[in-house]
Amino acid sequence: MKDIVKVQVPFFSNDPEELVLVYSKNRKNLVQQPLSDAARKQMGEDLKAFFEAEFRNGRWLLGQRVTQRDW
């Protein structure tokens, strides 16, 4: 089942893995994970964006970027 998730890139990080924060509404399934090259390209320079995604095996599989949400 697909959800809409928010992806947040940290303002600054010294983490060599460059993890992003990903979660669905009400902070359901909040995880830190690497951002795929495809998702990074869709985000451009934005520090936060919303995507269609599926939660599998403890991480979000990001699909297409969607319009901004107010949460």
- Determine, yes or no, domain membership for 71: no
- Determine, yes or no, domain membership for 59: yes
* Full domain range(s) for residue 44: 3-66
The Cα 21–Cα 49 span in angstroms is: 11
User: How much is the pLDDT for 16?
Assistant: 66
Cα 67 to Cα 37, 43, 70, distances in angstroms: 20, 12, 10
User: How much is the pLDDT for 4?
Assistant: 98
The model's pTM is 0.90
- Determine, yes or no, domain membership for 24: yes
Question: Could you tell me the two tokens for 50?
Answer: 């919303």
Cα 5 to Cα 14, 15, 16, 37, 62, distances in angstroms: 24, 22, 24, 17, 8
- Determine, yes or no, domain membership for 37: yes
pLDDT in tens, the chain (71 residues): 799 999 999 987 777 678 999 999 989 899 999 999 999 999 999 999 999 999 999 999 999 999 999 99
13: nearest Cα among 38, 39, 37, 32: 32
User: How much is the pLDDT for 13?
Assistant: 74
Domains in the chain: how many in total?
1
User: How much is the pLDDT for 52?
Assistant: 98
